[in-house]
Amino acid sequence: MDKNEALYTFGTGENFHIQNYFGVHRDHEGDELGYVFRVWAPNAEDVQLIGDFTDWKDNPLPMTKNEAGVWEVFTTLAKEGQIYKYLVKRQGGQVVEKMDPVALYLEERPGTGAIVRTLEDKKWKDGLWMGRRKRFGFKHRPVNIYEVHANSWKKDEDGKAYGFAQLKEELIPYLVKMNYTHVEFMPVMAHPLGMSWGYQLMGYFAFEHTYGTPEEFQDFVEACHQNNIGVLVDWVPGHFTQNDDALAYYDGTPTYEYQDHHRAHNYRWGALNFDLGKNQVQSFLISSALFWIEFYHIDGIRVDAVSNMLYLDYDDGPWAPNQFGGNRNIEGYNFLRRLNSVVKHRHPDVMMIAEESTAATPITKPLNEDGCGFDYKWNMGWMNDILRFFSEDPIYRQYDFNLVTFSFMYAFNENFILPFSHDEVVHGKKSMMHKMWGDRYNQFAGLRTLYAYQICHPGKKLLFMGSEFGQFLEWKYDHELEWDNLKEEDKLNLKMQGFTSHLNQFYKDNKALWQIDDSYEGLEIIDADNTAESVLSIIRKNDKGDMLVCVFNMTPVERKDFTIGVPLAGIYEEVLNTELEDFGGVWKQGNPVTRTQPGLWKDYKNTLSFTLPALGASIWKVKRRLKK
């Protein structure tokens, strides 16, 4: 794409690689080699380039504005590694130093200067992974995600957070050991304050300096792929930091944000909302998404706070209805559809995930069915219901058993991911283990049962770091995980970690748990009415009809000679029991191989009887079928 076309398509919202035009690039004028700088500030009165090569404000370089509002200057003074900013005289006369919105690399915070740096194309060595990804996709494959905040997974002895060079050496072997299929990072794009966890972005193309270099993150992704692990990243196209040296009111007028003051301001989060209907903003954001997918070989993007982009009344501030009198943000809805259309056209094997908590808009329905076109949506309703249930005293669970069963009514209304995310283990909500009812032993028993239920319920899976070994304390963004829990004398955390690893491998090994995640063809309810005993029985199936019988006892009462109906006569073997000693339970061995008996049980003509562990899960498969 030549310069004229790049500029034109930026204005029409059809330039999806704006980083090739804006920012800083090696260039030449005549025989002179140097760098060209370009920035969009259509209503600025003046823009000058300042940096190490101008002694900052001492010798600023004047920039020239074209008809599209883009300021440009060529200079031979700049050198690789030097820092620069733009000195913008806003409409009204105020002069401010501004970061480069399309910078690929920023200095270490709290600085916001961009760095003159040419990022070279990497010679990737993940061709086998990328080929398999293109061939098999992900919809009918196992997806079990370990969610990570890069700054707090682990720290050095001096308290410095691991960068991605260290995470490559330690996190990837841990992911392999724990049998996860994917790792998802809270935002790794440049952000001014760690306290925001990365969700108040300022650099939509820049890798967060505290995590290392872009090349180190590329190497991390490559190593993940070589170990058969996919990499997902969180991305925030709805709102951005209101810091005055970043995108906020860049030229003194609403540049990236809405014209309307209330629509521009996100009162709940103290941020500014992108004007998602503006062509240039669409070019900017879609270019950002594609940059992370293409430059870093990312396997998926989780779009944060989708509700904020879909509904005018989502925020706490004043709002006005749209032209049809409703609360839908029409620009936001159309932007999300266009984002997914562009990404899926170019990269159909990349996962697009929405963090969205309402049911008013179809999120994963196809674009031709008025959906938003995402591949997956977080199932927030399931998450809230099941965590409320497992935190209750078992005495009362019989009265709230619908919290367990209601999700089967809408399990396939969307394509869901079942999340136990970072949001559930902060701000006084307690850690996953601490949410569980009872003493320490029963808390771990409940947690094992909960995770087994998550694995067996239709939908892909996500678990936040630390939850896999039952960390007791809430997550703190500036502290590493409580790895010392694994040294506790009772070894319950260590056994919990081992159980999660075993469960994750069990998930991968059994197609019935992931091959049909989007229809009732992969699910059969044996008994969802046993509220008195708080026991749920379901069947998961693969495309050949092979099945797993999954039984969950939600109370701390062992049930001998527990009987359920099953569709096939046969010899059944227990393939998972959450109460084994190796997992932290009290059973020395699981149930013996068991033969079904003829007999009518609900609509089933065969029964299976066994001992159901207290506050535990028992999962069975057919070892050998018997003739009728």
- The string of DSSP letters for 430-457 reads --HHHHSSSSHHHHHHHHHHHHHHHHHS
CB crowding 381-397: b at 16 or more within 10 Å, else e = ebbebbbebbeeebeeb
CA atoms within 13 A on the CB side of 537: 19
* Alpha-carbon span 87 to 245, nearest angstrom: 10
Can 120 be counted among the known catalytic residues? Answer: no
Phi, psi of 215 (to 5 degrees): -65, -35
Question: Do the beta carbons of residue 514 and residue 142 sit within 8 Å?
Answer: yes
Closest CA to 372 of 382, 360, 389: 360
Cβ contact 257:225 at 8 Å: no
In the set 245, 257, 304, 482, the catalytic residue is: 304
Tally: H helices and E strands in the chain: 14, 31
Q: Which residues contact 475 (CB under 8 A, 6 or more apart)?
A: 149, 152, 422, 425, 426, 431, 464, 465, 466, 481
Taking the CB of residue 291, how many other CB atoms lie within 10 A of it?
Answer: 20
Helix axes 127-136, 214-226, angle to 10 degrees: 70
In terms of phi and psi (left: phi > 0; alpha: psi -120 to 50; beta: otherwise), the region of 317 is: beta
Residue 22 makes CB contacts below 8 A (sequence gap 6+) with: 10, 38, 39, 40, 70, 101, 102
Question: Which member of 147, 251, 299, 355 is catalytic?
Answer: 355
Q: Is 304 a catalytic residue?
A: yes
Long-range contacts made by residues 365-373, C-beta under 8 angstroms, separation at least 24?
365/414, 367/337, 367/340, 367/341, 371/337, 372/306, 372/333, 372/336, 372/337, 372/340, 373/336, 373/337, 373/340, 373/341, 373/344
**Using only C-alpha atoms, what is the Rg of the chain?**
27
CA distance 345 to 347: 6
Question: Do residues 512 and 497 make contact, with C-beta atoms less than 8 angstroms apart?
Answer: no
Work out whether strand 594-595 and strand 570-577 pair parallel, antiparallel, or are unpaired: antiparallel
| Cα separation, 233 vs 253, whole angstroms | 31
Active-site residue list: 304, 355
